[in-house]
């Protein structure tokens, strides 16, 4: 699931951070194909925890700086994703990387990358272009 220019938000900082997300997701899928997802999932969750919080902070600061009207909706979505991620990390630590956790991680990453970026984040770029 490589990043594709059609997923561009049109804001370089955000696009570059999204590309990093896609690279990590791709590694998880590749690890799954090789039967190594259990080993990689812990690393991915660690990355997602730190990188996601930084990315959301950067994105939220940017939205505030441009007075983006959809800020509160984005903030709610970010908060919900962080809560989902924390639950997934807890499930991983409890189960030791069960197949269910791996599947849920895959689904969560795919849903976020495709739905959130192509719907909500793209609106930030559209707002900037209309100014």
CATH number at residue 111: 1.20.120.50
Residue 5 maps to a domain? no
Residue 35 maps to a domain? yes
Averaged pLDDT, 40-69: 90
Q: CA 31, 40, 93 angle in degrees (round to 5)?
A: 140
Residue 1 maps to a domain? no
Residue 4 maps to a domain? no
Burial class of 121 by CB neighbour count within 10 A (0 to 12, 13 to 18, 19+): buried
pLDDT tens digits along 76-126: 999 998 998 888 888 888 887 777 777 777 788 788 878 888 889 999 999
Structural domain for 121, as ranges: 10-130
Residue 27 maps to a domain? yes
pLDDT tens digits along 1-35: 677 888 899 999 999 998 988 888 788 777 777 77
Tokens representing 102 are 């791996």
What is the total count of domains within the chain? 1
CA end-to-end distance (rounded Å), the chain: 32
């Amino acid at each position: 699931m490589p990043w594709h220019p059609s997923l561009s938000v049109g804001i370089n900082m955000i696009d570059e951070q999204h590309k990093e997300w896609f690279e990590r997701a791709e590694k998880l899928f590749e690890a799954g194909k090789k039967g190594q997802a259990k080993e990689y999932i812990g690393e991915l969750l660690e990355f997602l925890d730190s990188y996601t919080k930084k990315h959301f902070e950067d994105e939220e600061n940017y939205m505030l700086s441009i007075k983006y009207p959809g800020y509160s909706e984005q903030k709610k979505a970010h908060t919900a994703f962080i809560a989902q991620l924390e639950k997934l990390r807890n499930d991983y630590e409890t189960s030791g990387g069960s197949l269910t956790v791996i599947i849920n991680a895959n689904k969560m990453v795919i849903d976020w990358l495709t739905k959130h970026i192509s719907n909500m984040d793209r609106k930030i770029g559209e707002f900037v272009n209309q100014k």
